[in-house]
């Protein structure tokens, strides 16, 4: 197995065990992370994001497969099952992760998932009615950015 495949396996196993410290160690000091909600996070921000998400999750379940990597890039498919704290609704999010590596660390991490699908599960009726709209996506992005900024100040 390529060392970067091993890195991805270690990352998602740690995620499933809520071991945010091991997850944080996988990132390069200049790493960038993006997904449909968290946009262009710096290394410090993505490390804080994982800590915030993992420590606040009560029933998080992670599974992953399809790990592939070489010296420069990698990918995997992963799924998260959890209760969304904002509404108490159950979520099953299906994500494709793409990575870039520098010196055996993640330098770029981009997660892709269907925001409308996620919003229907997490938000209920508002997600069903508005999950396709740029308005709801922008509102969710602003809310999670404020939450992350507040979390980073407190911890």
pLDDT for position 126? 81
One pLDDT digit (tens) per residue for the chain, 155 residues = 899 999 999 999 999 999 999 999 999 999 999 999 999 999 999 999 999 999 988 899 999 999 999 999 999 999 999 999 888 999 999 999 999 999 999 999 999 999 999 999 999 988 888 878 898 999 999 999 999 999 999 87
Give the domains, in start order, of the chain with CATH numbers: 3-113 (3.10.450.50)
The predicted pLDDT at position 58 comes to 86
Per the CB < 8 A criterion, the answer to whether 46 and 106 are in contact is no
Structure tokens at 116: 């409308």
| End-to-end Cα, the chain, rounded Å | 36
| pLDDT score at 85 | 84
Residue with tokens 């270690």: 10
pLDDT for the residue 71: 96
Tokens of 100: 């870039």
Q: How many Å apart are CA 144 and CA 148, to the nearest integer? A: 6
Give the per-residue pLDDT at 89.
Answer: 93
Give, for 11, the enclosing helix (H) or strand (E).
Answer: helix 3-16
């Amino acid at each position: 197995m390529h060392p970067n495949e091993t890195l991805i396996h270690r990352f998602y196993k740690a995620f499933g065990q809520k071991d945010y410290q091991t997850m944080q160690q996988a990132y390069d000091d200049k790493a960038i992370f993006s997904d449909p909600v968290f946009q262009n996070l710096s290394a410090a921000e993505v490390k804080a994001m994982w800590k915030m998400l993992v420590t606040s999750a009560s029933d998080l379940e992670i599974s992953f497969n399809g790990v592939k990597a070489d010296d420069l890039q990698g990918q995997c498919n992963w799924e998260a099952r959890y209760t969304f704290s904002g509404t108490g609704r159950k979520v099953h999010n299906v994500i494709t992760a793409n990575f870039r590596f520098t010196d055996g660390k993640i330098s770029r991490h981009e997660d892709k998932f269907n925001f409308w699908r996620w919003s229907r599960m997490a938000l209920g009726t508002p997600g069903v009615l508005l999950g396709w709209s740029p308005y709801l996506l922008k509102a969710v992005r602003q809310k999670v950015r404020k939450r992350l900024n507040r979390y980073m100040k407190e911890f």
